[in-house]
Amino acid sequence: MTQYVVYDVFTDTPFGGNPLAVITDARGLDGAQMQKIAREFNFSESTFVLPPEDPAHTARVRIFTPSQEIPFAGHPTVGTAIALRDLGRIDDHATLELGVGPIPVTVKDGAAEFATRVPLQTWHDPPAEVVAAAISAAPGVVSHANHGPVIASVGLPFAIAELTDRAALAAAAINIDAFRAFEPNWPTDYHFDLLVYVRDGQRIDARMFAPLDGIPEDPATGSAAAALTAFLGWLDGRSQHFEVSQGVDMGRPSLIRTSVEVENGTPVETRVAGNAVRVMEGRLTL
């Protein structure tokens, strides 16, 4: 039998935030079994903890969505670190081996923060008409006041688009046919996932849709918040921090704290922080 715990991440309140299943000792499981387990939980991600490949690090963590393994994600990194700290498996400072490389994590008082120095990557801009169709909206709701739609990544790629106002964000609803239609044009090996947002200074309200990953809407997406933060650091040309509110419109409010360090106009480090709370534990009978 294999132990697991379930945490709600980017919240300090049970049944808010983004649920995460953590398989606390995945030795003996192969990738195919991990994928089946992740599909069984059917959360946006599940993590599988293994001994580190480098003994100087704390643990190796594999991350699976219901449909595929991914190299990096925010709420799994935060939630797994807090789970391991609660279990007494790590100290306040740890280094987790992810698919993008080692990620330093700090855990304190039910919250965790990680830093990534994976460079910001951007690809060709998806047309505003594609973004609007994907959220069942008219093209005019996609704002070009600060930037047009862009695909950005600091480990996992997302289409990112600013909307005109909070009402447009609240009205967004997925059109999976539009996602499928644009998928052949997606420039990476991962699926077409879309983050839409509105910004008021350092406050961001966001929603993230990933129906081709089996995630109609995600209540909190640290990797997307990290990509957005790094992109805005590059766009504004300065270091800054944000509070990203997500999940409100689907009834699972989440808060993601992010920051970016910019040197000579280039983002060099992105940080993501948040709380997590345990809501379940049990054993898989395999």
Q: Do 279 and 263 fall within a single domain?
A: no
Pair (249, 131) in one structural domain: yes
To which residue do tokens 């040197």 refer?
A: 263
d(CA 163, CA 182): 19
Whether residues 232 and 161 share a domain: the answer is: yes
Based on the fold, state whether residues 83 and 201 are members of the same structural domain: no
Q: What is the CATH number of the domain that holds 248?
A: 3.10.310.10
Pair 141, 269 in one domain: yes
Catalytic residue, candidates 40, 45, 183, 243: 45
Question: At 80, which amino acid appears?
Answer: T
Are 22 and 99 members of one domain?
A: yes
The reply to whether 62 and 138 lie within a common domain is: no
Residue 53 and residue 105 in one domain: yes
Same domain, 36 and 86: yes
Residue 203 φ/ψ region, left for φ over 0, alpha for ψ in the -120 to 50 degree band, beta for the rest: beta
Within this chain, do residues 152 and 111 fall inside the same structural domain, yes or no? no
Pairing of strands 59-64, 93-98: parallel
- CB 109: neighbour CB atoms within 10 A? 8
Asked whether residue 157 falls in the same domain as residue 262, the answer is: yes
Decide if 45 is catalytic.
Answer: yes
Same domain, 44 and 177: no
Domain count, the chain: 2
**pLDDT tens, per residue, the chain with 286 residues:** 699 999 999 999 999 999 999 999 999 999 999 999 999 999 999 999 999 999 999 999 999 999 999 999 999 999 999 999 999 999 999 999 999 999 999 999 999 999 999 999 999 889 999 999 999 999 999 999 999 999 999 999 999 999 999 999 999 999 999 999 999 999 888 889 999 999 999 999 999 999 998 899 999 999 999 999 999 999 999 999 999 999 999 999 999 999 999 999 999 999 999 999 999 999 998 8
Cα-based distances in Å from 189 to 45, 122, 185, 193 = 18, 14, 11, 12
Is the pTM of the predicted complex or chain greater than 0.75?
yes
Q: Which structural domain range is residue 81 located in?
A: 2-115+275-284
